[in-house]
Structure 1
Amino acid sequence: MNRHRSLISGLFAALLFGGAAQAQTSPPANLALAREILSELIAINTVHDHGTLPAAEAIRTRLLAAGFAPADVTLLTIPGHPTQGQVIARLRAKATKAKPVLWISHLDVVEAKREDWTLEPFALTEKDGWLYGRGVQDMKGEIAALLAALIRLKQDGFVPDRDMIFAFTSDEESGDANGVDWLLKTQRPLVDAGLVLNSDGGGGSLRGGQRLSYGVQTSEKIYVTFQLETTNKGGHSSVPEPENAIYRLARGLTRIEALVFPVVTTPTTRGFFAESAKRESGQTAADMLAVSREPPDLAAAARLSAAPARNARLRTTCVATGLSGGHAENALPQRARAVIQCRMIPTDSEAAVRARLVEALADPDIAVSVTSPAAPARDSPYDAALMTRLTKVVQDMWPGVSVAPHMDLGATDSLFTRAAGIPSYAVGAIWSDADDNRAHGRDERISTTAFAEAVEFDFRLIKSVATSR
């Protein structure tokens, strides 16, 4: 049987007989196109060392074939980085003074080694209702759904009330050629917008097959990386000295392990906990309501902090992620280093976090330096019109699902658009299992049902946001 038809049949069966029977999907031809795009993108290795240019070229080819004018599909590489491609498409509006909407998506993926996977990472594999491959979740599945929806709108003759810009970019995961940052700094007229939507964040969360809620990312934690370093004159390992660079650093790391930052809430996290309380019961529900108020109840916050993910939403966190030391097995160490990765609440600052690390270390002989500086970006403001449109699309697709503001614990390219002064909201289309997040991990996967729903969700959301009525 034709592989596309097999997929579509499986998707419709899942929707008719599975737990997502209320959701709707796109026409079969559009689903087949989305699946074809996803297969093509997964097969293109876009880790940093390979670059994103081939994927950007593939997307440009598809958009031109769908009827976009060459002037409306721009392919660019970053000077000094010839393999890092960006493609920017514009769905043009009627005459309007409204600023465009910019959708951002990154083409690069993290490394995946064949020996670590049970399947080939750079080939799309369908198995038991799942689609496997590096990037299916982060974020080529989102891109395939978005592109298929965009192509459907173009071929339907849809004309938005304001321009819709779609940027597919490089180096979100790693490297020094971040496409969104570069476009904003050097090609601003090409991507200038009044609103940014990002498919790489937010979205729906499932547990045990049950839909929990749909989160709109209005903020994200800010990352900053520090290096701790101790040095020593060293010597021969046969004559141990009382001063040892590795031992000194180890004692400091033990103190960092015990460091707990104060509880800080923001409008986004207060809204998140207030909404989350509706899905909990007993002490947990009461504690969530208690931290959703100002000032937050610290006893309630302490109880919630027993769960790592809740703890991370309540405060800045720092954790050791790297360690090195010594230069020879028969020599006393002359140097030892540790990497400390911090994720700051958006209202925190690099200077304040560094000061707390220095205070906790309580050792002037442990040098603290910044290796990856923070790029601060405040929460995006509550957008009532956007939330109304988004909530309608979500609840038309999945009746009864609540929509709430959300602070991502990781980092996305919204960091750059917020810093550039453009209100930015992440609105992922593919629902994920809260207890089985495989992004960046082995055997990354998404469900066939979730992918089918995403294609229709993006179609409806683009159309809703693009219409002034």
Structure 2
Amino acid sequence: MGEVARICSDLIRFDTTNPGSGERPAAEYVAALLSEAGIEPVVFESARHRTSVVARIPGDSPQALLVHGHLDVVPAQAADWRVHPFSGEVSGGCVWGRGAVDMKGTLSMTLALVRDWARRGVRPTRDVVLAFLADEEASGEYGARYAVREHRELFDGCTEAIGESGGYSVQAGDARIYPVAVGERGTAWMRLTATGVAGHGSHPPVDNAVAELCHALSRLAAHRWPVRLTPGVAALIESLEEILGERIDRDRLEEEAGRLGRAGALFRAQIRNSANPTMLQAGYKVNVVPGTATGHVDGRFLPGYREEFLQTVDRLLGPKVTREFVNIEDAPSAPMDAPFFERLRAALVAEDPAARPVPYVMSGGTDAKSFAGLGINGYGFAPLLLTPDLDYFGMFHGVDERVPVEGLEFGVRVLDRLLTAG
């Protein structure tokens, strides 16, 4: 087994489920690998066992590039998997387990690369700042947010960053597409509260908080958000038209996304804002009308559409339901016409001449949001060559998550080209 697969397998065996017992053992493992390579890690905790690791590798230019990733993973139910999700088993040419794709596989590529540099005496083109962070799968409060707030100096000189959710292959017919993220939707996680009049369940309702909240959530869930083509998504669709050799009807984008399969999945969730009810809490006895009812909504808004999103939410909720933010983060975007974006594309094509890199906007969010507050342009670029049978989106937070060993080795080579190119 090569080093990148071994490191990936080792990282998966650390159960860093969030929420859970924390990232500390995995962080200590990462710090030890860096130290063995002569790279001095900075290890810090935002709370007990919520541990992150940051290190800087000097390059030929003090202008720095940030390479960030997260140590935590989402929960996994072992009974649903073909192999135990924290086994790190290597089988069928893949490393299996929770985090193989999201995103311990990427962390293993970074670690394998910098350890190889140390053995070969290679210096990167510019300073490289490595960040292995806690808590990305929640709000990032114990990870990237804390790092930016309390350890700002560790990111001095960083002008661009690369992180998760981009640079992976998507097979569309004969074309191998590599989406490179230039932005992501903003996050608005909201707690909604309806207040009414408590009373006996047998009496005619006066002001039923549960009913009021349900009506509001129903309006929100049923709302048809208008299509808003941001520059990144418009550029993606134009690129797909060129690659696939066919027109994509702008007036029927949702239907077109379904027709195009995995290629369409690259823009299906990125053409609109969204607000999904996810949690409800109300009442304590079947014959008692409670005085309050609460619910939670996962809201996402496109770059440039925060105010339109919030105004629409308030209109749909109505005057009897109040909202407060559990988490609110703006939608970051990075320039597509920058030389660095072309370097990302070139690194992919150099390793895969059949690669067709395209700009892309993520439907969810990453730690790039926190680093955008420091003026760092973040790109989703975790290069990975997948076999056509593997569905990246299906494995992301899904069961039987796995990553091809050859795909990891491909990613190491791409990162090497990117970080050492003249």
Flag whether TM exceeds 0.5 (same fold). Answer: yes
- Say if 2:375 is the partner of 1:414: no
Match of 2:404 in 1: 447
Alpha-carbon shift at residue 435 of structure 1 (Å): 6.6
Distance in 2 (alpha carbons) for counterparts of 1:175 and 1:112: 19
Preserved contact between residue 326 and residue 336 of structure 1 (Cα < 8 Å):
yes
Q: More displaced, 126-135 or 400-409? A: 126-135
Distance in 2 separating the partners of 1:390 and 1:43 = 31
Q: Which runs of 5+ in 1 are unaligned?
A: 5-31, 292-298
Q: Find the partner of 1:329 among 286, 293, 310.
A: 286
Please tell me whether the aligned partners of residues 165 and 380 of structure 2 are also in contact (alpha carbons under 8 angstroms). Answer: yes
CA distance in 2, matches of 1:210, 1:129: 23
* Corresponding residue for residue 360 of structure 1: 316
Instruction: Give the secondary structure class of the aligned counterpart of 2:12.
Output: helix
What's the CA shift for 1:326? 1.8
1:395-406 counterparts in 2 under 5 A? 395-406=349-360
Task: Tell me which of 26, 33, 44 is aligned to 2:3.
Answer: 33
- Kept after mapping to 2: 8 A contact 1:194/1:422: yes
Q: Does 1:129 align with 2:93?
A: yes
CA distance in 2, matches of 1:141, 1:233: 53
For residue 50 of structure 2, what is the aligned residue in structure 1? 84
| Count of residues in correspondence between the two structures | 413
Whether 1:430 and 2:384 are equivalent positions in the alignment is yes
Measured in 2, the distance between the counterparts of 1:165 and 1:253 equals 43
TM-score w.r.t. the length of structure 2 is 0.89
Matching of residue 74 in structure 1 with residue 42 in structure 2: yes
**Counterpart residue number, 2:32:** 61
From the superposition, tell whether residues 449 and 252 of structure 1 become closer, same or farther in structure 2 (CA, over 3 Å).
same
1:375–1:181 CA distance, 2 compared to 1 (3 A): same
Give 1:408's aligned amino acid: M
Structural mapping, 1:16-415, within 5 Å: 32-48=2-18, 49-68=20-39, 72-78=40-46, 81-94=47-60, 96=61, 98-174=62-138, 177-207=141-171, 212-241=176-205, 243-280=207-244, 282=246, 285-287=247-249, 291=250, 299-301=251-253, 303-304=255-256, 309=265, 310-349=267-306, 351-361=307-317, 363-365=318-320, 367-415=321-369
| Deviation digits for residues 233-277 of structure 1 (CA, Å, limit 9, x no counterpart) | 233334453653333322222222221233222221121111112
Q: Secondary structure at the match of 1:374?
A: strand
Q: Residue 412 of structure 1: CA displacement?
A: 0.5
CA distance in 2, matches of 1:305, 1:206: 14
Distance 1:306 1:389 in 2: 31
What is the TM-score of this pair, normalised by structure 1?
0.81
Tell me which amino acid in the other structure corresponds to 2:319: P
CA contact (8 A) 1:133 1:444 kept: yes
Letter in 2 for 1:359: R
1:431 to 1:400, Cα distance in 2 relative to 1, 3 A: closer
Q: 1:240 to 1:280 in 2, by over 3 A?
A: farther
Shift, 1:90, TM fit: 1.8
Change beyond 3 A, Cα 1:210–1:46: farther
Query: How far apart in 1 are the matches of 2:172 and 2:310?
Result: 40
What residue identity is the alignment partner of 1:90? R
Match of 1:10 in 2: none
Q: Aligned letter for 2:350?
A: D
- Secondary structure of the 2:296 match is strand
Overall identity of the aligned pairs, in %: 26
Report the secondary structure of 2:168's partner residue. Answer: strand
SS in 1 for 2:49: strand
Contact 1:217/1:427 (8 A) holds in 2: yes
Distance in 1 separating the partners of 2:105 and 2:174: 21
Matched position secondary structure for 2:56: strand
Q: Tell me, in whole angstroms, the C-alpha distance in 2 between the residues paired with 1:74 and 1:230.
A: 46
> 2 CA distance for matches of 1:55 and 1:210?
39
SS of residue paired to 2:355? coil
Unpaired runs of 5+ residues, structure 2, are none
Contact kept, 8 Å, 2:197 with 2:208, in 1: the verdict is no
Farther-moved stretch of structure 1 (100-109 vs 169-178): 169-178
Q: C-alpha offsets along residues 380-417 of structure 1, whole Å, 9 cap, x if unaligned?
A: 12353223322222112111322121111110011111
Q: CA deviation at 1:370?
A: 2.1
Does the 8 A contact of 1:204 with 1:212 survive in 2?
no
Q: Report if aligned partners of 1:205, 1:434 keep a CA contact under 8 Å in 2.
A: no
Distance 1:306 1:259 in 2: 20
Residue pair 1:146, 1:459 contacting (<8 A) in 2 also: no
What secondary structure sits across from 1:103 in the alignment? Answer: strand
- Name the structure 2 match of 1:25: none
What secondary structure, in the 3-state scheme, does the structure 1 residue paired with 2:205 have?
coil
CA distance in structure 1 between the partners assigned to 2:411 and 2:369 by the alignment = 24
The residue identity in structure 2 corresponding to 1:357 is: V
Shift of 1:157: 0.4
CA 1:145–1:306: 2 relative to 1, 3 Å: closer
- Confirm or deny: 8 A CA contact 2:163 2:378 kept in the other structure: no
Distance 2:369 2:333 in 1: 10
Structure 1 residue 354: deviation in Å? 2.7
How far did residue 193 of structure 1 move? 3.0
Partner secondary structure for residue 146 of structure 1: helix
Query: Is the 8 Å Cα contact of residues 197 and 207 (structure 2) preserved in structure 1?
Result: no
1:41 CA displacement: 0.8
Q: Deviations over 1:254-313 (max 9, x none)?
A: 22222123322222112111111224455xx242xxx4xxxxxxx344654778954422
CA distance in 2, matches of 1:304, 1:208: 14
Tell me, in whole angstroms, the C-alpha distance in 1 between the residues paired with 2:119 and 2:174.
35
Aligned to 1:233, the other structure's residue is in SS state: coil
